[in-house]
A = this chain, B = another copy of it.
Amino acid sequence: MHILITGAAGMVGRKITEHLLKNRRIRGRDVTKLTLHDVVAPDAQPTDAISILPVAGDISDRTVIDRLVSEKPDIIIHLAAIVSGEAEADFDKGYAVNLDGTRHIFEAVRAQNYKPRVINASSIAVFGTPFPEPIPDEFHLTPLTSYGTQKAIGELLLNDYTRRGFFDGISLRLPTICVRPGKPNKAASGFFSNIIREPLKGEEAVLPVAETVRHWHASPRAAVGFFLHAAEMDLSAVGPRRNLTMPGVPATIGEQIDALRKVAGEKAAKLIRREPDPVIQKIVAGWPTQFEAKRARELGFKADESFEAIVRAHIDDEHGGRAPVMG
């Protein structure tokens, strides 16, 4: 089985790649080849069982896409995207990559006239305030960013291409990934991860919002699990509505800090410095806080068990089970 991953050099892409190289089977078949695309060529190493074709290129360039799809990969995991902040700052680039790039992939698949499985990364950014809490599966999409708009359009296209029989598609609306490994970044949502990751390393983290702020989280491990489940499952069970809100853990900042304290002690919790930021507070006030995600749960997609489980998964995956600051 040949699997293509776009945006494979990103955090989720690397973790899916690692998993596939280790576990090597999907739907009862051996994975034999990975085509790994990103703007810079991903650096995963082939094994005796699995060859790797790294491809560097811009997905807004149809010739890049035609090359990616020309060998008819059995499963396409489409992660490549310009992130929210950049899509807002550069209107043309956001549409070129997030809309045209996605459409190029779908069109290239249609042109090849085979029917692979296409697993598309969407986002809870397709929702915009005001909304009920939790948001039910049948609530309309009212994105308040260009990124969210582009993801919502990708969902509509995926559904139509699936309905027409050009491929067998599914879109996963990912929760905010927490704890995101690596360095603190300037994304408005960065603090959700920073306040867990940094204290576990003995570093200070800034909290710009109130402890009452609630948000919808999935660990990197859960996110990888969503994609693997989407690769394994019987997609006909999904029915004609192929765009699913993934289950997550709804936690307030206070609950996040309690979980950190429980796992790593007061010493870790004390490394969180309150520094209210009205700009970030305003942005975050427009974000969804929780979802029903009933359909996805019924279809077997699994959230982390609790925010504490999210903290423990981070320590397992990034610190080999024991963080520098613990207990």
Contacts and interface: CB of A to CB of B under 8 A. Distances in A.
Interface string A125-165: 00010000000011111111010010011001101100110
A210 to B, nearest CB: 24
A114 interface: no
A140 B143 contact: no
A240 interface: yes
Contacts of A149: 156-157, 159-160
A153 B143 contact: no
A125 B93 CA distance: 30
A144 B159 CA distance: 9
Interface string A70-95: 00000000000000000000010000
A267 interface: no
A24 interface: no
A240 B142 CA distance: 9
Nearest to A141: B140
A241 interface: yes
Contact of A143 (B139, B142, B146, B156): B156
A174 B140 CA distance: 18
A123 to B, nearest CB: 14
Contacts of A142: 159, 240-241
A208 to B, nearest CB: 24
Contacts of A128: 240
A319 to B, nearest CB: 41
Given A91-B164, A164-B91, A152 B144 contact: no
A157 B164 CA distance: 23
Contacts of A240: 128, 142, 144
6 contacts: A138-B139, A141-B141, A142-B240, A146-B164, A152-B156, A153-B156
Interface of A: 91, 128, 137-144, 146, 149, 152-153, 156-157, 159-160, 163-164, 240-241
Given A140-B141, A144-B163, A149-B160, 16 more contacts: A91-B164, A138-B139, A138-B140, A139-B139, A140-B140, A141-B156, A142-B240, A142-B241, A143-B156, A143-B159, A144-B240, A146-B164, A149-B156, A149-B157, A149-B159, A153-B153
